[in-house]
Amino acid sequence: MLETKITIMESKNRRPSESRSIIDSACSKRYVIAIMGFIGIANAYAMRSVLSVAITEMVEDIHRTAIDPNGCPGPLKTANTTNPNAEFDWSETLQGHILGAFYYGYVFAQIPGGILAQKYGGKHVFGVGIFLTAVLTLLTPIAARIGPAYMIGVRVLEGVGEGPTIPAMNALLAQWVPIGERSRIGSFVFAGNMIGTIVAQSSAGYLLKITDDNWPLVFYVCGVVGLIWYVFWNLLVYSSPNEHPTITDYELAYLERNLKGVNKNKNTLKSTPWMSMLSSGPMWGLMIGQIAHDWALFMINADLPKYMKSVMKFSIAETGVWSSMPHVLMWVFAILTGWLSDYLISNGKLGILQQRRLFSTIACIGPMLGTLAASYAGCDKIKVVVLFTIGMATMGFFYSSMKVNVMDLSPNYAGPAMAMVNGVGAVAGIVSPPLIGYLIPNNTLLEWRNVFWISGGVVIVANSIYLVLASASIQWWNDPVPTSETDDGDTDL
């Protein structure tokens, strides 16, 4: 019956109904999915990153009396000078553990999240993950006041809540996004992490300024926004096109024709081929390559506000705004490079694998050069912000390359596969904040420069391994039964 419907639709919509296809596309449910997914990921990253700004006002500064001979001029401080609303005397090392605690839960929840998304669909796993994180964000001020151990515990549980979100979103997009739209829709959705970080850091800085450093308020605002989003998510989103009650026949037929490698009958899928994935070179390339991106991104998300305030001596409002600027341009690049990627691939300018390799390399080298250059720019605030912003903007190339590469390898197991990739990459979030806290006991410029050199080395090595092992072909373990279908993604090297 469905095949007959597809044949009829093909004959009706070849050329004469170009206007109808435009109208249908404008109302497409896959774009609703993309917009809601974008907002959901923005919420997730806002809730995880708002602590990075808030912690600069939560913690007393009285234990820092050393003068940085290479530091920038700022307000004079004495041993008794501190923010009157700061409640905690946490060392830099303890702050690093608190910021990194999120990723313990995040890594732990990746595989279970991927399995759940594979079994129950991406909608509910993604939605419940954001809901739980929102509730825990509301509880953060209480946990902080009880003690640092409780604060760490809440952050770990937030990681557990958010851990399934990226695997679930990959599983959802694999069911909804045809291969010809994968780069631009995938980059648009996953670029929500930048918007979430931008809004969280800039608005947190502004709220702290106008409320005289009332830091609990920033957590309450983020948590409430997450809960409101969850209501609309349940009303508007479905795990697959066949489940959607109001999808048009035109869009359903279009997706049936263009969802390459996706098995519509989940009952025929075998259990997740974990061992096959672990024996796959391209999967190992992706997992190691993800470390390159995550190391740079988590460093900027968690520690750039601290650098802006402690080294560059920005005010708290300026810290929020300028720390978010790299994410603004990164988001613009992510959207533009998504369209550029689909154009280059669709018009035969680049093969899929060539595009994935080239854009992922730009996304790694650019941030490394930008952060290093900023650390050598002295106390010229404008130059430092510009260098950070330009360097991190190039990370936008990641979202139309390595981030969607999982769907190239296995549309059927995109959720579990992304769980493995994201889980390994998130180890960077466990290691980098405590390591940075250890490396910057006095928050001096030279200490931070060492951090940027180490981060650059990690990024280059990890990306080099990805380049060697990368593939854009559907892997043999994607199919529940033997099939003759192949992908020519690796043919134009």
Res 95: pLDDT: 84
Q: Yes or no: say if 147 and 243 are a contact pair by the CB < 8 Å rule.
A: no
Which residue from 200, 147, 180 is spatially nearest to 345, judged by alpha carbons? 180
CB neighbours of 64 closer than 8 A, spacing ≥ 6? 77, 442, 443
DSSP state string for 422-434: HHHHHHHHHHHHH
Res 260: pLDDT: 62
* Mean pLDDT, the chain cut into blocks of 10 residues (493 residues total): 41 38 59 93 90 81 54 53 68 83 87 81 91 95 93 94 88 83 82 81 77 84 94 91 87 80 53 86 91 79 71 67 73 85 87 92 89 84 84 85 85 81 80 78 82 88 92 84 43 40
CA distances (Å), 488 to each of 403, 478, 492, in order? 20, 15, 8
Q: Which residues of 6-29 are buried (b: 16+ CB within 10 A; e: fewer)?
A: beebeeebeeeeeeeeeebeeebb
C-alpha span between 417 and 352 (Å, rounded): 19
pTM: 0.68
Q: Phi and psi (nearest 5°) for 316?
A: -65, -40
In degrees to the nearest 10, what's the CA dihedral of 300, 302, 307, 308? Answer: 80
CB neighbours of 401 closer than 8 A, spacing ≥ 6? 341, 355, 356, 357, 358, 359, 360, 363
Phi-psi region of 262 (alpha: psi -120 to 50; beta: other; left: phi over 0): beta
Q: Yes or no: say if 435 and 448 are a contact pair by the CB < 8 Å rule.
A: no
Q: Yes or no: say if 197 and 164 are a contact pair by the CB < 8 Å rule.
A: no
CB neighbours of 21 closer than 8 A, spacing ≥ 6? 13, 250
The token pair that represents 374 in the structure block: 């900023």
- Sign of the C-alpha dihedral computed for residues 381, 384, 386 and 389 taken in this order: negative
Element spanning 164, H or E: none
